[in-house]
């Protein structure tokens, strides 16, 4: 799952990115409202962590612009503005949660995961295909009810594929889903990640298969629930 962190304090931005990456997420971190809006135009993020005090504007307007476009991206506001008026105004504008600085990193991670348990259903629901189940909020997958231990990258590939189960996931969509802007992506990185995931699924006795559509992308096949 891919998150956008919008925070102009460079030290805090690095701490947040490290925390969330360690929590199993792909993270893009930007420091301005302009960069945040540009990133949101390119990527369909699973959630955004948004500071309000940005050097080139107010994060509140980033939030407003996102909602005006009809985007339902979950937003956790992280800000030093603790006044009730600010909280109410921001939540009424479309924020999903509001966390006042200073905060504990453990609480932020817990709130982020809680945010991902809310609608839309494609994020909140356990995804099932054949005998494979994946809970994105717990970062857990099973085969026949038994834990399937996957590295972060392979888990992200499986999550992206199950969200599109029964339909073709284009290669560029998969790449956007699992890699942050700063990640080094080699030409065969996607193919290698899919190949590793196939081996994990086969070893665990999964009844689904990942079929390559040459030049297009991938599709999950062989699952009764697709």
Instruction: Check residue 8 and give its pLDDT.
Output: 93
pLDDT, tens only, 69-92: 878 899 999 999 988 998 898 998
Given a cut of 90, whether residue 116 has pLDDT beyond it is no
Q: How much is the pTM?
A: 0.61
3-state secondary structure 188-207: CHHHHHHHHHHHHHHHHCCC
Query: 169-207, pLDDT tens digit by residue?
Result: 998 888 888 888 777 778 788 999 999 999 999 999 999
pLDDT confidence band for 222 (50 / 70 / 90) = low
Please give the share of the chain, as a percent, with pLDDT higher than 90.
54
- 125-221 classified as CATH 1.10.10.10: yes
pLDDT of residue 79: 92
- What φ, ψ does residue 138 adopt, rounded to 5°? -100, -5
Q: What percent of the chain has pLDDT over 70?
A: 94
Give residue 77's pLDDT: 95
| Domain limits, the chain | 2-115, 125-221
pLDDT winner (highest mean) among 8-12, 127-131, 174-178: 8-12
Task: Decide if pLDDT at 114 tops 50.
Answer: yes
Q: What is the pLDDT of residue 185?
A: 76
Average pLDDT, the chain: 88
pLDDT reported for residue 125: 61
C-beta separation of 3 from 30 below 8 A:
no
**3 state SS of 133:** strand
CATH superfamily of 2-115: Response regulator (3.40.50.2300)
Q: Quick one: which of 40, 50, 5 has its CA closest to 23?
A: 5
């Amino acid at each position: 799952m891919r998150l956008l962190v919008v925070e102009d304090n460079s030290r805090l931005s690095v701490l947040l990115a490290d925390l969330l990456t360690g929590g199993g997420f792909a993270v893009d971190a930007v420091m301005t409202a302009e960069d945040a809006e540009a990133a949101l135009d390119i990527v369909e993020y699973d959630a955004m962590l948004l500071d309000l005090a940005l050097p080139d504007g107010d994060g509140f307007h980033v939030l407003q612009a996102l909602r005006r476009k009809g985007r339902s991206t979950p937003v956790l506001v992280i800000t030093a503005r603790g006044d009730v008026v600010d909280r109410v105004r921001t939540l009424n504008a479309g924020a999903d949660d509001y966390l006042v600085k200073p905060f504990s990193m453990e609480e932020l991670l817990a709130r982020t995961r809680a945010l991902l348990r809310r609608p839309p259903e494609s994020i909140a629901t356990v995804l099932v295909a054949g005998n494979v189940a994946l809970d994105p909020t717990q970062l857990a997958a099973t085969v026949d009810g038994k834990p399937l231990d996957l590295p972060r990258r392979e888990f992200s590939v499986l999550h992206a594929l199950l969200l599109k189960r029964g339909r073709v996931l284009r290669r560029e969509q998969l790449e956007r889903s699992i890699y942050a802007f700063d990640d080094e992506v080699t030409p065969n990185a996607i193919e290698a990640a899919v190949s590793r995931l196939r081996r994990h699924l086969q070893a665990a006795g999964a009844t689904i298969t990942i079929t390559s559509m040459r030049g297009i992308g991938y599709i999950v096949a062989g699952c009764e629930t697709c």
